[in-house]
């Protein structure tokens, strides 16, 4: 039986659009010639929108055995989500290895890095790792790249530099390494953890889209305007399945999203008009209510829809749980309201 995703892809194929997935290219005598490097062709972006669907899941935990990751990934896939995203820490779980474990354990779901820390590896290594996975699992990989925050970078022994310049140079380094890596049949989208206008401009001009996290729906609307219609916009939102406002806000503050030194989230929220007073102390109730989804299943489903209505192609939902099994429990509970 074909899924809705499969039917949409079959329709695209029937339209005669090239499916070999060059990032951009030209047509010579009816043959699409890929020009490797740079953003994907618009048709490839459209295909990835179909594969991702509306809603995905974020799995995050510091340390867990591989079998626990496999089981959780299978449960999320069986619940009907379109994607699974995971993060990494320098010196901790290496994100491409982690993605490989979950890709091998699942059948159709898209796996993505949210994000691959650009301080963790050489850009040629990132390009090589991504192309090997994209070649092995066609159409099932998305690569989110980000700069982290100054405190964590310097704790790892490296010197923090301009995030915009660093990211631009990193993308150039990935492009320069394309010739030495496999060319997958279907390209993987390259997304930037972009919150501000300059980084989102870079995401538009030198990547395939943006991957902002924990921002209000108004930020999603502005991001779509900056990116234009031909770039992917995947937003990450934390869902707290709690109906008590005080408990939900306490849990949101404990994430320390707005209290990390040098937090890019603070700058982005100021650009939306939030005051220093509202952002102090881990954020006012108004700020937390805008940045975190809380309530029952229906309330969280409405908040996800707000981001889709604002221009997001895909909303990746993160949940707070003590372990991966607990995360999978919550995703199964939320599925009827989100999918």
Given this model, what pLDDT does residue 319 score? 97
Given this model, what pLDDT does residue 61 score? 78
The closest of 50, 53, 44 to 21, measured between CA atoms, is 44
3-state helix, strand, coil in the chain (%, to 5): 50, 15, 35
Given this model, what pLDDT does residue 152 score? 66
Given this model, what pLDDT does residue 153 score? 62
Q: 286-306: per-residue pLDDT in tens? A: 999 999 999 999 999 999 999
Given this model, what pLDDT does residue 91 score? 77
For residue 280, give the DSSP letter: G
The answer to whether the CB of 5 falls within 8 A of the CB of 51 is yes
Given this model, what pLDDT does residue 98 score? 96
Within 10 A of 78 (CB to CB), how many other CB atoms are there? Answer: 14
pTM assigned to the model: 0.88
Buried b (16+ CB within 10 A) or exposed e, 154-189: eeeeeebeebeeebbebbebbbebbeebeebebbbb
Q: For residues 305 and 330, what is the distance between their CA atoms, to the nearest angstrom?
A: 18
- DSSP states along 49-115: HHHH-SEEEE---S---HHHHHHHHHHHHHHT-SEEEE---TTS--HHHHHHHHHHH-SS-EEEEEE
Given this model, what pLDDT does residue 154 score? 55
Q: Domain 52-240+296-337 is in which class?
A: alpha beta
Q: How far is CA 112 from CA 95, 145, 190, in A?
A: 9, 10, 10
Given this model, what pLDDT does residue 327 score? 98
Question: Tens place of pLDDT for every residue, the chain, 339 residues?
Answer: 445 555 554 554 444 333 223 444 333 333 323 344 678 888 889 999 999 999 999 999 778 999 999 999 999 999 999 999 999 988 788 999 999 999 999 999 999 999 999 999 999 999 999 999 999 999 999 999 999 666 666 566 677 678 999 999 999 999 999 988 889 999 999 999 999 999 999 999 999 999 999 999 999 999 999 999 999 999 999 999 999 999 999 999 999 888 877 788 999 999 999 999 999 999 999 999 999 999 999 999 999 999 999 999 999 999 999 999 999 999 999 999 999
């Amino acid at each position: 039986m074909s899924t809705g995703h499969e039917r949409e892809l079959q329709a695209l194929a029937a339209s005669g659009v090239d499916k070999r997935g060059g990032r951009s290219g030209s047509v010579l005598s009816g043959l699409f010639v890929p020009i490797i490097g740079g953003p994907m062709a618009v048709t490839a972006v459209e295909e990835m929108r179909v594969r991702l669907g509306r809603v995905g899941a974020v799995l995050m935990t510091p340390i867990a055995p591989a079998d626990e990751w496999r089981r959780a990934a299978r449960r999320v896939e069986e619940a009907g989500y379109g994607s699974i995203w995971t993060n990494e820490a320098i010196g901790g779980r290496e994100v491409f290895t982690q993605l490989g474990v979950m890709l091998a354990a699942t059948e159709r779901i898209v796996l993505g890095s949210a994000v691959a820390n650009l301080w963790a590896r050489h850009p040629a290594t990132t390009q090589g790792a991504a192309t090997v996975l994209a070649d092995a699992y066609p159409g099932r990989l998305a690569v989110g790249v980000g700069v982290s925050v100054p405190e964590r970078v310097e704790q790892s022994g490296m010197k923090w530099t301009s995030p915009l310049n660093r990211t631009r140079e990193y993308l150039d380094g990935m492009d320069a390494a394309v010739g030495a890596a496999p060319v997958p049949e279907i390209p993987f989208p390259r997304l930037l953890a972009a919150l501000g206008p300059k980084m989102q401009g870079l995401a538009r001009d030198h990547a395939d889209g943006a991957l902002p996290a924990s921002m209000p729906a108004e930020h999603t609307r502005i991001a779509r305007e900056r990116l234009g219609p031909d770039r992917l916009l995947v937003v990450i939102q934390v869902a707290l399945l709690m109906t008590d406002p005080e408990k939900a806000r306490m849990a949101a503050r404990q994430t320390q999203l707005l209290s990390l030194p040098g937090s890019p989230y603070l700058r982005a929220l100021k650009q939306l008009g939030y005051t220093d007073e509202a952002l102090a102390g881990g954020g006012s109730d108004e700020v937390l209510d805008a940045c975190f989804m809380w309530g029952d299943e229906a309330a969280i489903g409405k908040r996800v829809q707000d981001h889709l209505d604002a221009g997001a192609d895909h909303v990746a939902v993160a949940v707070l749980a003590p372990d991966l099994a607990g995360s999978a429990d919550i995703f199964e509970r939320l599925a009827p309201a989100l999918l």
